[in-house]
Amino acid sequence: MPRREQAGARAETATTSHSSTPRLERLKRDLVGLVGWRRWAAAFALGALAALALPPTFLLPLLVPAFVGLMWLVEESRAAGRAFADGWWFGFGHSLAGLYWIFNAFVVDAPQYGWMAPFAVAGIAAGTALYPAAATALSRLAFGYRDPGAHGRVLVLAALWTAAEWMRGWLLMGFSWNLIGSVWVISDAMIQLAAVTGVYGLSLVTVAAAAMPATLTGAAAGGRRWLPAIMAATVLVLVWAGGALRLASAGDQAVAGVRLRLVQPNIPQHLKWQRELRRGHVVNQLWMSTQPPASDAGPAAAPTHVIWAETAVPFVLADSPSLIAALAGAAPPGGLIIVGAPRTTSAGVEPRRVWNSLFAIGPGGRITATYDKFHLVPFGEYVPFRGILDIPKLTAGRQDFSPGPGLRTLALTGLPPVSPLICYEVIFPG
């Protein structure tokens, strides 16, 4: 055989032995070769796959094909504009699949709000999809400016995805739902990393690990082509091990002598604010608050603090001293009853404002502390861009709620320092 042909044969053999499996190569080629609506549909489906890793389904292995597919689409895009479209359709599928529950809020009062449900859910999903779209477009620009190599491209995408999640949490209205790092709430050990890095550190590690198998396509150095994917999986194992060690060495931080009673009357949302039923709702919760404690082992120690839910009191407390007295009567001796209720500006003060608030009330009827919710639910507690969107909010009352001043740490009788969060506020890191 001539020398040139021998060299060609050796090169061909080397390439074949060092490339990833033909099946992966073919899968990548088929995916990145899609154009038009087929490409958009594929990106949408990949995003929906990623959403299935989130609570309550926790199908975590689906993150791998989802982010591997996204990585392939982005790195093979010819321009940032195409990468933006790929990221938007991925994000749209991810958000639409993950925000299905918003539909339920609109059908509580279906005759009035049901028609809005598909438009609201699709609109929110379309808006939040702009963040992954920005991440993929910037990734494509970074690859073109100075290509960091296959493994570096994965890290760039993971970093920009995480940055986009962070921006989504505070830009405009702020919406920190469905962060990728939250897939790990299924494991107490895994989420210990959030104590150091916040949920965004978990997102960074998770996206990088899920997308790293994308590097198995193309020429690689023999069997070492698996090394980056193995290292990414090892990082996840180390995160778990570190978290397990932290949990094993954690001390019991329970405060002696504190016994909480949580009151949950399970009132259907469509009945909660009906004028003729409101008094009965409060009376029922007062009864639940004052029942003798019991356990499977018999009588138990009395509660020191009673806690009601968000807006469990469907009245303005300042307008009803007798209601405050009734609530104070349900407060344990030496403790507090902590309730949710709307709060308004004083009579005659203009403009009139309304807050979604927490009240701590002692046995003597004194309100010892208040907290006003500051992260409000768009369309639920206020309508964004009210000057343009002349539509009612989903909750009772014609007036939008006003945001409170922000996080507060309360000093409440018999309790360690407390920083309350009301409902929607718990999804915001920090």
Distance CA 178, CA 112 (A): 28
**pLDDT (0 to 100) of residue 397:** 66
User: Out of 25, 76, 272, 310, which one is annotated catalytic?
Assistant: 310
Contact (Cβ atoms closer than 8 angstroms) between residue 1 and residue 9: yes
Contact (Cβ atoms closer than 8 angstroms) between residue 400 and residue 393: yes
**pLDDT (0 to 100) of residue 219:** 57
Q: How confident is the model at residue 223 (pLDDT cuts 50, 70, 90)?
A: low
**381 noted as active-site residue:** no
Interval 154-161 mean pLDDT: 97
User: Out of 75, 373, 381, 393, which one is annotated catalytic?
Assistant: 373
**pLDDT (0 to 100) of residue 221:** 43
Give backbone dihedrals phi and psi of 379, rounded to 5 degrees, phi first.
70, -20
Domain at 260-293+300-427, CATH homologous superfamily: Carbon-nitrogen hydrolase (3.60.110.10)
**373 noted as active-site residue:** yes
**pLDDT (0 to 100) of residue 385:** 66
User: What is the DSSP code string of 56-104?
Assistant: TT--GGGHHHHHHHHHHHHHT-SSHHHHHHHHHHHHHHHHHHHTTTHHH
**pLDDT (0 to 100) of residue 297:** 57
Give backbone dihedrals phi and psi of 261, rounded to 5 degrees, phi first.
-115, 120
Tens of pLDDT, residues 377-388: 877 787 776 766
Distance CA 272, CA 104 (A): 16
Distance CA 88, CA 180 (A): 16
The dihedral sign for the CA sequence 251, 255, 259, 264: negative
The dihedral sign for the CA sequence 15, 21, 23, 27: negative
**310 noted as active-site residue:** yes
Interval 310-314 mean pLDDT: 94
The Cα diameter of the chain in Å comes to 104
Full-model pTM: 0.84
User: What does the domain layout of the chain look like in residue ranges?
Assistant: 10-248, 260-293+300-427
Distance CA 249, CA 259 (A): 25
